[in-house]
A and B are shown apart, each in its own frame.
Chain A
Amino acid sequence: MIDIQNLTYDYPGRRALDNVSAQIAPLTITALVGPNGAGKSTLLRICAALDRPFAGSVTIDGLDVHDDPRAAHRRMGFLPDFFGLYDDLTVQQCLRYRAQAQGVASSSVVAAAQRAAERLDLTDRLKEKAGTLSRGLRQRLAIAQAIIHDPKVLMLDEPASGLDPEARIALAAVLRRLRDDGMTIIVSSHILAELEDYSTHMMIIRDGRLVDYAPLGQAAQTLGRVRLRLDLADRSDALETALHQIADLTIISLDAGHAVIEMADDSLAHAALLKTLVGQDFKVASFAPDRLGLQDAYLTHVKSGAPQKITAGGSAGVSLQ
């Protein structure tokens, strides 16, 4: 769906993006994460054809976005981090203007505005002026404007900043619904907890380089390791000693009744560990892969050292080499 090839972009005295390549599969929600100044917003702006790269290309659904930015904009929606609304227009006028500006046929403008309002639960606000809306409603209106032409790709830069918890939960539900409706979404944020609610993939960018791009929950697997969670029916202080005796096993977290460990992605090794624990009379209640949290995955990769080269491929649309 989105093919990013060797993107390079410079600011005076600094390389903002350094040969970034990735292929983003359709119907995914990619969390674009990284420290401040890593290049997230620059990457999004280039993908949205708001800036031109020094080298490289971005293709969305077969169209090079920098060859014809306006045609590309009809296929994508973008919500910048600091967005504005026309406060003196009503919600309905905002949506109709946006529909026309995005090239929706005149005969379909009213229907498109109505559909966008329904998707974002704004139908009861159509007559209100945008300037009178709360922060959460303004965010919803901005997203409604970004998706009014039913784009195949939606990019959002820090969409949840300034939202209260309820509005954030609502935003997560909206994004999941949009993905189910057929959109491919990229969300940039430095608040990892919010991204975890709806992201299917994580793209880590640091110092202008792509560190990792992988499906969530499988990030550790891509390194040949798997994370497992162990729960005991009876707490036992001996658990730590027993786990320390197992070779090639890393303890992520541990207390007397639970442990999260990381070890080789080898089912025979897992069976052997389980057999050992049961043999030592630990009352194992559950032993299963632990879905790697986005924050854990991010920290794992940030701590893991040098950036890795990312290439496209694999059934999920991405793989690591």
Chain B
Amino acid sequence: MIGNPEFTRNLWLQFSWQRVLAAVVVIGILYYAGTATGEFATSTMANAGRWIFNIIIGFWGTRRAADALAEEVAGNTWETQRMSGLSAWQMVWGKLLGGTAYPWFCALLCLALTDIVLLQAGANASDLLILNLDLILSGLLAHAVSLGVALLLLRKAQLRRRLMVTFAQICGLLVYGNTIIGDLNNALRGPETVVWFGNAYHTALFHLVSLAVFCAWAWFGLYRLMRAELQYSNVPWVWCAFLAFAMIYAAGLADQPGQTIAAILGAPVGLGVILVYGSFLAEPKDAVRYRWGLAAFRQGNLAKALTFLPLWLITYVVTALLALVLIALLPAQPTAEIGQTWLASWWQEYGPHTRIMLAAGILFVARDLLFLLLLNFGQWRQRADIAGILYLLIAYFPLAWIVAFVGGPHLLSLVLPYDSGNAVLTFGPVLVQVAVLAVFVRQRWRAQAVPAAIAAA
């Protein structure tokens, strides 16, 4: 089938005459029951049809997408697939479209019948087309996220547990839910526009184009992940390009009329911090691979060294540089030029402290990364990320509250970014934490090396 054996195999496994017939009969009866009695309004029928589509694609489809990989791993067929001659791209679309083929068949059947009902009632065909494309792209994006998370979990050797498969499914479901909420907002807002880099765009169209672009990124990211799984070397230029795109996209949304450059830059810095933690948690923290990268770098083999470069490190450096630019652009004193968005309200309360807290914040992110790295280089590396997040949450919330309660707010800089009014007290504790953790990380890293490798590194 269209030259992709992986897609064909999935069709063999999912489609039998009985299953096709069952889908057609069940959905057909529901449609007939709704229309023949004439008791339901067209809008009710349309809503019901779309919700069935949402349930099938959001719940079932995301599960199937995650299972497209998880079933291979559980059935011990994954190694055999990795030994095949299938390309990474064939594997990606063969699994994404093949693994979810039956849910798509059922969901598209519902959507087609819904459209028939709406068209008969005189709905606008172009509006319907945009809505259908929106739903389909949402599904493709959500399924790509589920399969992508499953692949990331596989790289971290954590896909054998069904709970993790459910986690991958939930990630896709959340993305799907988010896009559906976007659809509902559009419907409620009507013809309102979205301002992006100062230009106004039709909301529904902007949403659709954004969805298509993010969907393309998700599929491309999946392709790169699959390449890595098939032992191809990846120089991280795709991640760099995505980082640039995401930050520009966020800056575009922050660029509302009357904003300063500093206000606009706040959005990509905030997004950068989220992506630092996200990429750190997604990647396997493999001390051996880090050592290989370092060895390649020392041998002057930059191309090879780049293939081992952690994505979180790239993201951190870019975010920190952007934060430094933001610090330089922010005015030292409160001014009306800061704009009217969330940053403005922040400015009202913390304005004079913002530059100091941004600088401290970047150091605290470094502290968190080192702490998580320390746990990952320890004996319990399978649970290191979860445990680390829990410890950090405790440090940022209850512990910060206790410190403030017991020692006063000026001691808050011990546990979170806070301007204590004294540079030593603001930056001293976090710098000490970063230094101590760096020493511990180095020690654990070296403890994992075989003697010959220590000499090489």
Binding site for B on A (CB under 8 A): 10-15, 18, 48-52, 54, 66, 69-71, 73-74, 76-78, 80, 82-89, 93, 97-98, 100-103, 142, 145-146, 149
Contacts and interface: CB of A to CB of B under 8 A. Distances in A.
Contact of A73 (B83, B288, B449): B83
Contacts of B83: 48, 50, 73, 76-78, 146
Given A86-B77, A89-B13, A100-B8, A13 B231 contact: no
B333 interface: no
B288 A70 contact: no
Nearest to A69: B231
Given A11-B288, A73-B84, A101-B5, 7 more contacts: A15-B450, A18-B452, A48-B83, A73-B85, A80-B76, A88-B13, A102-B84
Contacts of A78: 79, 83
Contact of A49 (B12, B13, B231, B448): B231
Given A12-B287, A101-B6, A70 B12 contact: no
**5 nearest interchain CB pairs?**
A84-B76, A100-B5, A101-B84, A103-B85, A84-B77
B6 A70 contact: no
Contacts of B292: 54
Contacts of A11: 288
Contacts of A77: 83
B84 A13 contact: no
A133 B287 CA distance: 43
B101 to A, nearest CB: 15
Contacts of A66: 231
A13 B449 contact: yes
A86 B8 CA distance: 13
A292 B12 CA distance: 51
Interface string B204-223: 00000000000000000000
Nearest to A8: B452
Interface of B: 5-6, 8-9, 12-13, 75-77, 79-87, 230-232, 287-288, 291-292, 295, 447-450, 452-453
A78 B82 CA distance: 10
A54 B288 CA distance: 9
A145 B80 contact: yes
Contacts of A54: 288, 292, 295
Contacts of A82: 76
Contact of A84 (B6, B80, B84, B287): B80
B432 to A, nearest CB: 29
A111 to B, nearest CB: 16
Contacts of B84: 73, 98, 101-102
B80 A80 contact: yes
A137 B5 CA distance: 24
A48 B448 CA distance: 26
Contacts of A70: 85-87, 230
A153 B438 CA distance: 47
Contacts of A73: 83-85
A103 B291 CA distance: 36
B75 A10 contact: no
A298 B430 CA distance: 59
A169 B9 CA distance: 33
A79 B84 CA distance: 11
Given A13-B448, A100-B5, A83 B76 contact: yes
B121 to A, nearest CB: 43
Contacts of B12: 89, 93, 97
A14 B230 CA distance: 24
Residue in A15, A49, A54, A66 whose Cβ sees the most chain B Cβ within 10 Å: A54
A3 B448 CA distance: 30
16 contacts: A12-B448, A13-B449, A13-B450, A52-B231, A54-B288, A73-B85, A84-B75, A84-B76, A85-B75, A87-B75, A89-B13, A97-B12, A100-B5, A101-B84, A103-B85, A145-B80
Contacts of B447: 13
B85 A101 contact: yes
Nearest to A89: B12
A101 B80 CA distance: 10
Contacts of B288: 10-12, 54
A12 B381 CA distance: 11
A10 B450 contact: yes
B14 to A, nearest CB: 10
B231 A51 contact: yes
